[in-house]
Amino acid sequence: MELNSQMQLEELREFENGFYKPHQGKTEQKRNLTEEEINDKYLKGEVRIVTEQARYPLPTISEMFSSDNYILRPEFQRRHRWDVKKQSKLIESFIVNVPIPPIFLYEKDFSVYEVMDGLQRVTAIMEFYQDKYALEGLEQWEELNGKKYSQLPEQIKKGIDRRYISSIILLKETAKSEEEASRMKQMVFSRINSGGAKLEDQEYRNSQYASAFNNMIIELARNPYFCEIFDIPQRTEDEDLFGDNISNDLKENQLFSKMKDVEYVLRFFAMRNIQAWNKGTLSKFLDQVLQDSSSLPGNVTSKYKELFNETIQLAFEIYGDNVFKLRKKFEYEDKDTGEKVSIWRWNSTPNLVVYDPVMVALSNNIEHKAELLTKRVEIMERTQCLLQADEGMWNGRNTAKKNVEDRIEAFDSLLREVL
């Protein structure tokens, strides 16, 4: 059902104005505990993780982690990052017997485990034993490049089959409630990843603020119009919400692999509520919006989903190949006259400096989308003039709140004039 009635939009805006408020910061002072109270807190185990360790033979990994007892895509995980070369390096490490860091599991229910950290290693092992890829890029064992598991010499297979991967399991009794378990898992995931590959901003947010809203923006990032605009491979029938069963092209896409696509979707909802941006960087504001949105009512989340889908489609239908692109002035010397000539052209790629105000302005006027589509030629002409009139306004370095507000107001005014 389309979100296109004036009443629905006014109700949504009224809700947003009351829900998203500037954060004032905590001013309350924590009580200083005495040494005796601190010791007592520790002895009671109020903040303590209960763990046990296990070792799994590599040949058992595929069957074990394919069962219902293991969940490979908990919400706080980052997306797939490993290509075949990196997967092959792991297998070579097992052949050489290089020590491999343990994977971390959380006991969600008795004998049911979530993979908190180590998904890449588990996936590489599973897919290797399933003959899903041939080894490539090996340096110590170049002779094995191009071979799948079933094609390996017998002694090599036996050597790999003798190896284990260790695990550290966070037991169910660590947390006394679902809320406490979620907080603890996100904290552990963030900390065990702090020493490895740096978490991107959106990966960190994803690990900290799991919610129905967070799941929604992950899903919206696979919108076909959004993917077409930002040159992200389209979603396939087998692909799930968190990126399993994805193509190699999608796996290697930088926006997808680093969750930048999800951050772009989050920006839409943040910029609609820019009044809540109190102070600090844009990144901190996005943190705030995602944290606040974790408690959105379900009916509002549904309206937001419809609003984004309708707005991104409208933007594409109005601007076509030039959606969210800047205008750039090119200068050259005329061969006949020797005079300098200037010409304006559309940039080749979309830019967030244009994406933010266009999306917000269109969403503010989504009830008029039929009329806007009939006037898309005029909108295109006015947009060209707007982008060329003040180059400083569209400078990507100007990302403060006032700069963003000015750009949103500029496009809002443009649409008001058209309507």
pLDDT at 307: 96
| Cα–Cα dist 298/315, whole Å | 26
Residue with the bigger pLDDT between 197 and 97: it is 97
* DSSP assignment of 69-130: TEES--TTPPPP---HHHHHHHHHHHHHT---PPEEEEEEETTEEEEEE-HHHHHHHHHHHT
In a domain, 89, yes or no: yes
What does the pLDDT look like over 241-250, one tens digit per residue? 665 678 878 8
Phi, psi of 5 (to 5 degrees): -90, 145
Q: Give the end of a domain, one of 198, 216, 246.
A: 198
Q: Is 259 found in the same domain as 161? A: no
Q: Residue 338 is encoded by which pair of tokens?
A: 């020797």
Q: What does the pLDDT average to over 189-211?
A: 71
Is residue 112 included in any domain, yes or no?
Answer: yes
Which of the four pLDDT bands, split at 50, 70 and 90, describes residue 252? confident
Angle among Cα 236, 61, 77 to the nearest 5 degrees reads 50
In a domain, 34, yes or no: no
Question: What's the pLDDT score for residue 183?
Answer: 66
What percentage of residues in the chain have a pLDDT greater than 90?
54
> Does the residue 40 lie in any domain?
no
Q: Are residues 260 and 333 in the same domain?
A: yes
d(CA 273, CA 278): 11
Total number of domains constituting the chain: 2
CA 179, 184, 185, 186 torsion-angle sign: positive
Residues 184, 205: one domain?
A: no
Q: Strand 103-109: give its sheet, edge to edge.
A: 51-57, 164-170, 103-109, 112-117, 70-71
Task: Say which residue, 199 or 104, is predicted with more confidence.
Answer: 104
Q: List the domain range (segments joined by +) for residue 129.
A: 48-198
Are 314 and 223 in contact by the 8 Å Cβ rule? The answer is: no
25 part of a folded domain: no
Which residue carries 């599973």 as its tokens? 126
Please report the pLDDT score of residue 205 as a whole number.
83
Tokens found for residue 357:
């105000």
pLDDT at 1: 42
**Do residues 210 and 183 share a domain?**
no
For residue 29, is pLDDT > 70? no
Q: Does 2 have pLDDT greater than 80?
A: no
On the question of pLDDT at 196 being above 60, the answer is no
221 with 183, same domain: the answer is no
| Domain boundary pick from 182, 198, 214 | 198
Mean pLDDT of the chain: 86
- Scanning 320-351, the segments in alpha helix (DSSP H) are none
Give the pLDDT confidence score for residue 87 in this predicted structure. 94
The pLDDT score that the predictor gives to residue 26 is 47
Indicate if the pLDDT at residue 125 is higher than 80: yes
Q: Are residues 193 and 323 in the same domain?
A: no
Look up residue 233 and give its DSSP letter: P
The 10s digit of each residue's pLDDT in 256-283 is: 988 999 999 999 999 999 999 987 889 9
pLDDT of 194 > 60? The answer is: no
> Is 403 found in the same domain as 320?
yes
- Mean pLDDT within 294-313: 94
Does one domain contain both 112 and 256? no
Same domain, 373 and 394: yes
* pLDDT tens column, 136-161: 999 999 999 999 999 999 999 999 99
Q: Are residues 142 and 224 in the same domain?
A: no
